[in-house]
Structure 1
Amino acid sequence: MAELETRELEYFAALAEELHFGRAAQRLGIAQPALSKAVRRMEDRLGVTLVERSSRHVALTPAGQVLQYHGRHALLAVGAAIEKTRRAGGRETQLRLVIKPGGDANLLSGILAAYARRPDARQVDIVFGGATDRADHVRDGRADVALLYVPFDDLTGLDHETLMIEGRVAVLPPDHRLAGRSEVTLADLAHETLPRWKGIHGSGLPGVEPVPGIGPEVADGAELTQMVLLGRAVAVLPRSLTRPPHPGLVHVPVADAPGSALVLAWSQEDRRRLVADFVASAVEATQG
């Protein structure tokens, strides 16, 4: 039976995300020829073509798309096994919370204060994740709990409590045709160019979706802001993620957009009192 090593899956995952051998090799810290040879060996061993190559273009084949999906989950499972095994061998002295910088809607101070009042409260370490990878921090054991935005973040394999539901706003350059409105609708935005978030499919907005291959790909809020400032895209964000407002951008409420929920999420398999107490404190602080 053909087998793949964890390192090979890591190589292929980087290539599948970058779709560029040079950038993927640089990200992995290896030479480009070494990455090319590794992918060739994987293809020979599996008996399938994983990527279509040309001098200007790299694309995943259907087989490559399957390996990208299942390989990602395999890597997460391996990482989770390692982290949870280490954790099981020692005392629980701290809880790790992953958040996006500025992605707590100003709720975190109250949550931490409520948790600190518990007689058995532990130290809470704050881990900063990217725009799209915080759920993976919980799945693979790097964090115990995460603040996530629904429907933007994927909650597969996670339990959660909703802490807040808020409206969404369109983020526009000041010379945009909609910038002078007091509010806009989803229909107004249907033909606008939306950014494509790296590693995320869809916008979570009915009838307003990024077109494959159209619109800039962004990995974080700084890149998104720059693209909107340049007039390359418009964005639709939860209201709390636009505070404080950028002085060069216009924020207009989207009247009929479904609400965005800020949730506290944790692994469905995690039944530790440490996590349950923190979740209860978060609910108490935001809904009490």
Structure 2
Amino acid sequence: MSDTLAAEKARASAWFRQLRDEIVAAFEALEDSHATGPFAELPPGRFDVTETRRDAPDGGDAGGGLMSVMRGGRVFEKVGVNVSTVYGSLGEQAQAAMAARKGIPGMADDPRFWASGISLVAHMRNPHVPAVHMNTRMFWTPHAWWFGGGSDLNPCIEYDEDTAHFHDTQKAHLDPHGAAHYPRLKEWADEYFYIPHRKRARGVGGIFMDDYCTGEWEADFALTQDIGRAFLPAFVTLVERRRGQGFSDADKDTQLIHRGLYAEYNLVYDRGTKFGLATGHDANAVLMSLPPLAKWV
């Protein structure tokens, strides 16, 4: 491994950990500041942190990370913020899938990989506060490297002004990298976060990219960082705006049904879920995106 490649991997892994730390601190601060309104009588939630590991076929070191989950808070019913850096060799199924989807030749000859990233899913107490997903990642093989990720909003009760704020904040963070990025990544999210068997989107969209590699590592990493930096200002404002609203039993029922939709997508279509389970990462960490309660009609 070249010194440059080693440094790039270290910088990416450190950045994802830094973003994780900032988000965990911001979410615990939201728990502390929720002093009036529904669930304010509960103790403020805190993250439980567990080390995770990837199981290598030969039992050797294959990396791992941190799974941070908060359950039963004032604001967050369940939220997970995972960060990991894993490596090893892709199995035959993963090799074939990568070769087919990404058009990478030679995977069977040298199936080594390295991947690092952050993944977040938040399911909220108050049905007026939207659920949200965010992840960013870097992936390397001897044949290619790329970045991916984004964030998307999943309200069960939609507010046009909330959707506009979420998208406007993301656009403001992407525009310095070129005016074409936001519309392209918005369209990408609309296509990716779509549930074919329901013939509808999972939520109100956001931004998303995958297999992103211009050949300029610094520029691509900078774009990935700003996708991550956009998350807190895009989402926290909405939490503060909606967490104190009252709600009815019908509102809660709507939330539970929408969570069922979210679970369907993550179990059937989400590439990250499939990759994590196929490569032997901690199953609890991979499936932390699932809601604590859900309902189907």
TM-score, with structure 1 as normaliser? 0.27
Bigger Rg, structure 1 or 2: 1
Structure with the largest fraction of strand:
2
Structure with the largest fraction of helix:
2
TM-score, with structure 2 as normaliser? 0.26
